[in-house]
Amino acid sequence: MSEIQKPKETETIPFYPDHIKTEIRVVWVMLGIAILVGAIAMFFPVGLEEPADPMVTPAHTKPEWYFLALYQILKISKIPGTNITIQPEIWVSLILVALLILLILPFIVKKGDSKKNIRNRLIGSVIFVLVAIALTIQGWFS
Amino acid sequence: MRETFSNRIKVLIIIVLLFGSGILIASKAHGKQMLTEGYKIEHSGETIDWEVTENVIIQTASSQRPPDPEQDECLHCHISGSAENLWVPLTRWVTFGTVGIVMAFGFTRSVWVWRNRKPWEPISTRVGNWIDERYQTKNALEKVLNKPVPNWATRWWYCLGGITAFLFVIQAVTGIMLAFYYKPTPEAAYESIQYIENEVLFGASIRAIHHWAANGMIVMCIAHMLRVFIMGAFKAPRELNWSSGVILLITTLAFGFTGYLLPWDQRAYWASTVGSAIAGSVPDVGELILVFLRVGWNITAATLSRFFALHVIVLPIMVIVFMGLHFLMIRKQGLKEPL
């Protein structure tokens, strides 16, 4: 047995101090980033726009960036290439249903631990992220 | 036993009296020196007449009122009292106090070692033993701390959830700091944010950390969720962990939505208008949701109050409860083994 054996996947480390130490290292990095953000903000603050005025509607009203993708979906009123119109209510209902499915996902999907399943979920997630990013960018510049 | 105890008390009282009086004399002497030096600057070459000094102090105090907030060049200097040297006594107490405590501790320790003829036990051991004698915490704590963790748990993609949790801690701390200065009314909200940005010491930094950490929290939340989804860790027996995680994601998004209105500028107002209008287009119950969110049909002072209450009271409680459940469940069940 001259070759070096890999450590088994079942080997463990104690929670304290080994695991805590790695977590504290992450915490230090995060704190450093936070302080860096604070330092940069002394020269480039978050800032404010004009005070809120219900009488004056700005040219572009947008939600926060993390709702932009959903907002873009709601704006789709026609399926491209067809004449079928879609009311925003239908999109909102679909999003709510999707959220509900997300909430009870483990009660629907019960199997799937093979390499193939993981690869499929990976591909699905990448497509989801790419579509979300594309919609967000589209919403950002529209 | 009893005798040693009373002897110890005696020794302690002597130490406290000795060092306490020493600290008091030293700090008084230091304070007097500071006062006379300040006085010397104004009246150089004169001997001190304490009645005159008192009058001078009263006069200057009444004539040097801080200017109005709009005309004040350094408002936070007045608010934090640095313009009036209010911090000097505290620094004095801290300096002399630290020296006094260190010396008193050294003295007590020497006396203890000399009287008991055995090596000194560290304070942490003593405090630990004291608590353990009363509440038997040692075994439970050891069990928690020595719990074995799989060695692959230190790979980087397992820290995404931890980062989210830590960002929440940052949000809580900076949020409390902002809440000290923020005023949740339409008339005062915008100005109080301006005040935080321009006048409060490090106010702009704290606000920026709160702003960017909020965005980071959402990104990390989604990244953590995708990791769990791809690896299939959401399946049985961890169903409730996934569901509580989805609830935490929704709560985080609600945090972002309610917090966005608080600055009460144009962007905030119209983003909230659009957002609540989307919530209002839910079939059937949409208008009820809209009225409930806006407290009426339009975004008004009542909306701001409601969003503020949701943002600083309701949602934090929800996050803490569900995060606690989330952590307890993963602690009990352990991480899912990767393939």
Closest CA to B182 of B252, B248, B268: B268
Beta-bridge partner residues of B215: none
CB contact under 8 A, A38 and B339: no
Nearest by CB to B281, which of A10, A13, A89?
A: A89
Q: Which residues of chain B have pLDDT under 50?
A: none
Q: Which residues of B touch A70 (CB under 8 A)?
A: 278
Reported as a single tens digit per residue, the pLDDT across A28-65 is: 999 999 999 999 999 999 988 889 888 888 887 888 89
Reported as a single tens digit per residue, the pLDDT across B32-88 is: 666 555 555 555 555 666 676 677 767 766 666 667 777 777 777 777 777 778 888
Q: What is the pTM of this model?
A: 0.80
CB contact under 8 A, A62 and B271: yes
Q: Which pLDDT score, from 0 to 100, does residue B42 have?
A: 57
Closest CA to B327 of A15, A32, A4: A15
When pLDDT is averaged across residues A17-31 and rounded to a whole number, the result is: 91
Give CA–CA dist B174/A31, Å, rounded. Answer: 12
Nearest by CB to A92, which of B146, B190, B278?
A: B278
State whether the Cα torsion A26-A28-A31-A37 is positive or negative: negative
Distance from the Cα of A138 to chain B's closest Cα (Å) equals 17
CB contact under 8 A, B275 and A112: no
Q: Which pLDDT score, from 0 to 100, does residue A97 have?
A: 94
Q: Which residues of A touch B236 (CB under 8 A)?
A: 106, 110
Residue A124 predicted with pLDDT over 50: yes
Give CA–CA dist A104/B163, Å, rounded. Answer: 25
The pLDDT confidence band at residue A2, using thresholds 50, 70 and 90, is very low
User: The tokens of A142 are what?
Assistant: 């529209």
Residue the block writes with tokens 């791809």 = B230
Q: Which residues of B touch A104 (CB under 8 A)?
A: 243
Helix B186-198 / helix B203-231 crossing angle, nearest 10 deg: 100
The pLDDT confidence band at residue A10, using thresholds 50, 70 and 90, is low
CB contact under 8 A, B282 and A89: yes
Q: Which residues of A touch B232 (CB under 8 A)?
A: 112-113, 117-118, 121
Q: Which residues of A touch B145 (CB under 8 A)?
A: 14-16
Q: Which pLDDT score, from 0 to 100, does residue B87 have?
A: 86
A41 three-state secondary structure:
helix
**Which residues 6+ apart lie within 8 Å of A11 measured at CB?**
B150, B151
Give CA–CA dist B122/B180, Å, rounded. Answer: 39
Q: Which residues of A touch B307 (CB under 8 A)?
A: none
Residue A71 belongs to what H/E stretch? helix A65-75
Closest CA to B205 of A39, A28, A32, A31: A39
Reduce the secondary structure of B93-140 to three states and give it as a string. HHHHHHHHHHHHHHHHHHHHHHHHCCCCCCHHHHHHHHHHHHHCCHHH
Give CA–CA dist B26/B32, Å, rounded. Answer: 10
A-B Cβ pairs (cutoff 8 Å, strict)? 201
**Which residues 6+ apart lie within 8 Å of A54 measured at CB?**
B269, B298, B299
Give CA–CA dist B43/B45, Å, rounded. Answer: 6
Q: Which residues of B touch A37 (CB under 8 A)?
A: 205, 208-209, 212-213
The pLDDT confidence band at residue A1, using thresholds 50, 70 and 90, is very low
CB contact under 8 A, B162 and A26: yes
For A99, name the nearest residue in chain B, comparing CA atoms only: B246
The rounded mean pLDDT for chain A is 86
CB contact under 8 A, A14 and B148: yes
